[in-house]
Amino acid sequence: MQKQGFAEKLLLWYEENHRPLPWRDTRDPYKIWLSEIILQQTRVDQGLPYYQKFISRYPSVKKLADAPEADVLRTWQGLGYYSRARNLLKCARIIVSEYQGFFPSGYHDLLRLPGVGPYTAAAIASFAFEEPVAVLDGNVFRFTARFFGIDTDITTTQAGREFREILSELLPAKHSSRFNQALMEFGALVCTPKKPECATCVFNVPCFARQNKKQNILPVKKKAKPSTNLYFNYLAIRQGGHLWMALRDSPGIWQGLYELLLIEGEEKSIHLPTGPVMSALQPHIVRLDFDEEHLHILSHRNIHARFYTLVINDVKLLPEPLRQKGRFYTKEEVGRLPKPILIDKYLRSRFF
DNA sequence: CAGTCGTGGTA
DNA sequence: TTACCAAGACT
């Protein structure tokens, strides 16, 4: 199949079938950047409401740059991969302070921004500035691997070089932005991971995977290593109408979000957690309840969480463990804090 | 380079 | 139910 014929067929399909999305027909780098960060490892259906919220609360990069991190994380709450939100804010502040509020237009300058990797830099350079660079996301890798029958593991850097070379060659001189978006949309709607729509696919005749019935083999992707278990005992400590919460400030899961008092266990246990923290709290406990274990699944962790509700008496001097990291918050304050979805769901069922 | 980082949807 | 995985980036 000739290069020009391929591009023409793809663009024709795109005009007829693409989804109308708010960031699609704009050249506004702010909107394109925002949508691309939100859509990293995230489906359009899940990301769309967040995009609307962000545009509504932060209509410009300047407004975003002025926001406190906790507010940005609260807006991001529920989307996951929270480093994206922290880097989003970092990046906005750099755009304002070092670029006078205007995004750089070149791939290599964009690549230096926090949270902007090879994919996102190419997407912004292409969609906002019509730079003729190939945009390689999961959709493009999948379609390309199937169509050309490439069995290189797409998680390797070698695959990056190999696929980039093929797509750079395929990229038309004109309408490269449209071409890139079309290829991604095609992967998302037709050449899907499971049960691709080969019967109606406009490329089904020349497609290697279709010819060789290897739609389920390609693309080749290294398997994720199995999840490990974590055992979280959360203490919802209440005093009057207040609830004790603390910031997770160390790098790792849920950095920047707020949670209840966490006592991590080594293994599954039906017993009340023990240790110095519990000992310090013990004399102040007025009431104690607990409920069944919640299993919270992350991409690489299984969190077995058990929540304990403690009501403690109104002492002047807080027990030492409670003074160190967090403090008591009112219900209104708790509602505004960014929280892991696990914590948010628990509080909605038992606290609010 | 391998490990880390969320959440929700699908088969 | 289990496994996969979605418009990746960072360390």
Residue A133 burial (C-beta neighbours within 10 Å; 0-12, 13-18, 19+): buried
Residue A317's pLDDT band (cuts 50, 70, 90)? confident
Nucleotide nearest to A223 (CA to C1'): C4
Sign of CA dihedral A72, A177, A166, A113: negative
pLDDT at A175 over 80: yes
Q: Coil, helix or strand for A113?
A: coil
Nucleic chain B contacts, Cβ below 7 Å: A 41-43, 45-46, 78-83, 156-158, 194-195, 224-225, 251-255, 296-301, 340-342
- Of all protein residues, which has its CA closest to the C1' atom of C7? A39
User: What pLDDT was estimated at residue A122?
Assistant: 97
pLDDT at A324 over 90: no
Protein-to-nucleotide distance from the CA of A247 to the C1' of B4, whole angstroms: 20
Mean pLDDT, chain A, integer: 95
Protein-to-nucleotide distance from the CA of A189 to the C1' of C7, whole angstroms: 12
Nucleotide nearest to A111 (CA to C1'): C9
Nucleic chain C contacts, Cβ below 7 Å: A 21, 24, 35-36, 39-44, 81, 83, 87, 114-121, 123, 137-139, 142, 184-185, 187-188, 193-194, 221, 223-224, 299
Q: Report the pLDDT averaged over residues A322-341.
A: 95
List, in sequence order, the alpha helices (H) in chain A.
Answer: 3-17, 29-38, 44-57, 61-65, 69-76, 83-99, 107-111, 118-129, 138-148, 157-170, 176-189, 208-211, 276-281, 320-324, 331-336, 341-350
User: What pLDDT was estimated at residue A314?
Assistant: 83
**Which stretch of DSSP H or E encloses residue A21?**
none
Where on strand C do bases come within 7 A of a protein Cβ?
A: 4-10
Residue in A230, A223, A276 with CA at minimum distance from that of residue A254: A230
User: What pLDDT was estimated at residue A22?
Assistant: 97
User: What pLDDT was estimated at residue A202?
Assistant: 96
Give the residues across from A244 on adjacent strands: A328
pLDDT at A200 over 90: yes
Cα A341 to Cα A345: distance, rounded to the nearest angstrom: 6
Question: In the structure encoding, which two tokens stand for residue A228, read together?
Answer: 């490990």
- For chain A, the first-to-last Cα distance in angstroms comes to 61
Residue A179's pLDDT band (cuts 50, 70, 90)? very high
The reply to whether A169 belongs to the active site is no
Q: Are A184 and A139 in contact (CB under 8 A)?
A: yes
Question: In the structure encoding, which two tokens stand for residue A21, read together?
Answer: 């999305």
Q: Report the pLDDT averaged over residues A322-351.
A: 95
pLDDT at A185 over 90: yes
User: What pLDDT was estimated at residue A266?
Assistant: 85
Sign of CA dihedral A190, A84, A62, A100: negative
Where on strand B do bases come within 7 A of a protein Cβ?
A: 1, 3-11
Phi and psi at A313, nearest 5°, equal: -70, 165
Question: In this predicted model, what pLDDT tens digit does every residue of A233-281 receive, in sequence order?
Answer: 999 999 989 999 999 999 999 999 999 999 999 887 777 888 888 998 9
Q: Which domains does chain A have, with CATH numbers?
A: 3-211 (1.10.340.30), 228-350 (3.90.79.10)
Question: In this predicted model, what pLDDT tens digit does every residue of A14-35 receive, in sequence order?
Answer: 999 999 999 999 999 999 999 9
Protein-to-nucleotide distance from the CA of A221 to the C1' of C10, whole angstroms: 20
* Residue in A16, A36, A69, A130 annotated catalytic: A36
User: What pLDDT was estimated at residue A320?
Assistant: 85
- Of all protein residues, which has its CA closest to the C1' atom of C11? A251
pLDDT at A38 over 80: yes
pLDDT at A184 over 90: yes
How many residues are recorded in chain A? Answer: 352
Give the residues across from A230 on adjacent strands: A303
pLDDT at A316 over 80: no
Nucleotide nearest to A298 (CA to C1'): B6
User: What pLDDT was estimated at residue A177?
Assistant: 97
Cα A121 to Cα A17: distance, rounded to the nearest angstrom: 26
A175: left (phi over 0), alpha (psi -120 to 50) or beta: left
Protein-to-nucleotide distance from the CA of A297 to the C1' of B7, whole angstroms: 8
Cα A247 to Cα A228: distance, rounded to the nearest angstrom: 24
∠A346-A227-A46 over CA atoms, to 5°?
55
Question: In this predicted model, what pLDDT tens digit does every residue of A85-117 receive, in sequence order?
Answer: 999 999 999 999 999 999 999 999 999 999 999
User: What pLDDT was estimated at residue A70?
Assistant: 98
Nucleotide nearest to A84 (CA to C1'): C9
Torsion of CA A84, A60, A68, A245, to 10 degrees: -60
Protein-to-nucleotide distance from the CA of A273 to the C1' of B3, whole angstroms: 30
Query: Would strands A228-239 and A301-312 be described as parallel, antiparallel, or unpaired?
Result: parallel
Protein-to-nucleotide distance from the CA of A282 to the C1' of C7, whole angstroms: 50
What are the respective helix, strand and coil percentages of chain A, to the nearest 5?
Answer: 45, 15, 40
Protein-to-nucleotide distance from the CA of A50 to the C1' of C5, whole angstroms: 20
Question: In this predicted model, what pLDDT tens digit does every residue of A57-83 receive, in sequence order?
Answer: 999 999 999 999 999 999 999 999 999
User: What pLDDT was estimated at residue A3?
Assistant: 85
